[in-house]
Amino acid sequence: MRHLLTLLSLLAAASPAAAGLTVFTCEPEWAALAEELGGEQVEVYSATTARQDPHHIQARPSLIAKVRRADLVVCSGAELEVGWLPMLLRQARNPVVLPWRPGHFEASSFIKRLAIPAELDRSEGDLHAAGNPHVHLDPRRVAIIAEALAGRLSERDPDHADHYRRRHEDFARRWQQAIARWEQQAAPLRGVRAVVHHKDWVYLFDWLGMVEAGALEPKPGLPTSPGHLATLKQELERQPAAMILHTAYQSDRAAQRLSAMHGIPVLKLPYTVGGSERAADLFALFDETIERLLAAAR
Ligand SMILES: [Zn+2]
């Protein structure tokens, strides 16, 4: 009998404790945040990588299966995933993760969104009709979202509420220290003008006081055109910019063309976690972004 008990306890110790929550995220930044807050209690899967355009992905059967098993779906919202998430949710038939249910978390709903159109019209293109959805590049907003997400993890997994609270306290402390450091480092970026490929950067610019000098896309989601590039070149001759920014998920062709016409450097930034070798977590994402912006602005 004693041997049997020893054997059973050995088996129990050997089998990994089941994770408290299965979290499906739409973008890698929210997977990174869920891992910061959940640690070993969460099993996290991201639908997209930094090299995929989060506006447009295929609603593959493998993704539907992941949503079906999820306890919590974490996405940017504000229509960023409107082209694919509704289809995944419909096909997955997992009622708890449907919008407005406890298993559905929209990061952009917790913060003040920028660039909300004054009137509901799609004249600015089909994307961003609910305001700009690329909310993760302002760490002050990430702090607000982190607090909300920690609360939601506790709600979904109350047995481990203490665990999520402790991890959030630790994250929030390190994050505030990092924000203070980043703001000090990034002071010379205030007023620096940059051309963007897509309006991915409005929250970063809002935080750092940088200025969007134009976008390669004439309207969000529309491809650039020779006429639009010529207009941009004229505008840059009147008011120069220091760099042209694009992400790991965008082709650099339009950026290189404008660079060849106007002679300003092209800068590829990680944009999200996994967008470069170094940007392996949220802290490294901002470290690298600020260092590379500073180097390009010199
Ligand atoms: Zn967008």
Q: What's 63's domain CATH number?
A: 3.40.50.1980
Domain count within the chain: 2
CA dihedral 141, 145, 146, 147 (to 10 degrees): 110
* Antiparallel, parallel or unpaired: β 42-46 and 21-25: parallel
Asked, for residue 30, whether it belongs to a domain, the answer is yes
Same domain, 230 and 262: yes
Q: How far is the CA of 128 from the centre of ligand 1 (A)?
A: 6
202 vs 9, residue with greater confidence: 202
Same domain, 126 and 235: no
Domain that residue 243 falls in: 186-297
> Residue 284 corresponds to which tokens in the numbers above?
């490294």
Q: How far is the CA of 198 from the centre of ligand 1 (A)?
A: 7
Cβ-Cβ contacts under 8 Å for 57 (sequence gap 6 or more) = 47, 48, 83, 84
- 73: pLDDT confidence band, cut at 50, 70 and 90? very high
Q: How far is the CA of 146 from the centre of ligand 1 (A)?
A: 22
Instruction: Return the pLDDT at 20.
Output: 87
Q: How far is the CA of 130 from the centre of ligand 1 (A)?
A: 11
Asked, for residue 14, whether it belongs to a domain, the answer is no
Same domain, 44 and 160: yes
For the residues 51-65, what does the mean pLDDT come to?
A: 96
Distance CA 253, CA 251 (A): 6
Judged against a pLDDT cut of 70, whether residue 15 lies above it is answered with no
32 near 281, Cβ under 8 Å? yes
Same domain, 152 and 195: no
Asked, for residue 12, whether it belongs to a domain, the answer is no
Asked, for residue 7, whether it belongs to a domain, the answer is no
Closest by CA to 29, choosing from 138, 117, 115, 173, is: 138
- 298: pLDDT confidence band, cut at 50, 70 and 90? confident
Judged against a pLDDT cut of 50, whether residue 1 lies above it is answered with no
Same domain, 226 and 144: no
- 289: pLDDT confidence band, cut at 50, 70 and 90? very high
Same domain, 213 and 164: no
Distance CA 142, CA 39 (A): 18
Q: How far is the CA of 6 from the centre of ligand 1 (A)?
A: 57
Q: How far is the CA of 127 from the centre of ligand 1 (A)?
A: 6
Same domain, 96 and 232: no
Distance CA 149, CA 170 (A): 14
**pTM, rounded to two decimals:** 0.92
Asked, for residue 6, whether it belongs to a domain, the answer is no
Instruction: Return the pLDDT at 121.
Output: 61
Distance CA 84, CA 104 (A): 15
Same domain, 112 and 231: no
- Percentage of residues of the chain with pLDDT beyond 70: 91
pLDDT in tens, 196-225: 999 999 999 999 999 999 999 999 889 999
Same domain, 39 and 174: yes
For the residues 80-103, what does the mean pLDDT come to?
A: 97
Same domain, 86 and 159: yes
Asked, for residue 8, whether it belongs to a domain, the answer is no
Task: Give the residue from 125, 150, 181 where a domain finishes.
Answer: 181
202 near 220, Cβ under 8 Å? no
Q: How far is the CA of 54 from the centre of ligand 1 (A)?
A: 8
216 near 224, Cβ under 8 Å? yes
34 near 16, Cβ under 8 Å? no
Distance CA 230, CA 261 (A): 9
Q: How far is the CA of 203 from the centre of ligand 1 (A)?
A: 12
Give how far the C-alpha of residue 42 lies from the chain's centroid of Cα atoms, to the nearest Å: 19
Q: How far is the CA of 22 from the centre of ligand 1 (A)?
A: 27
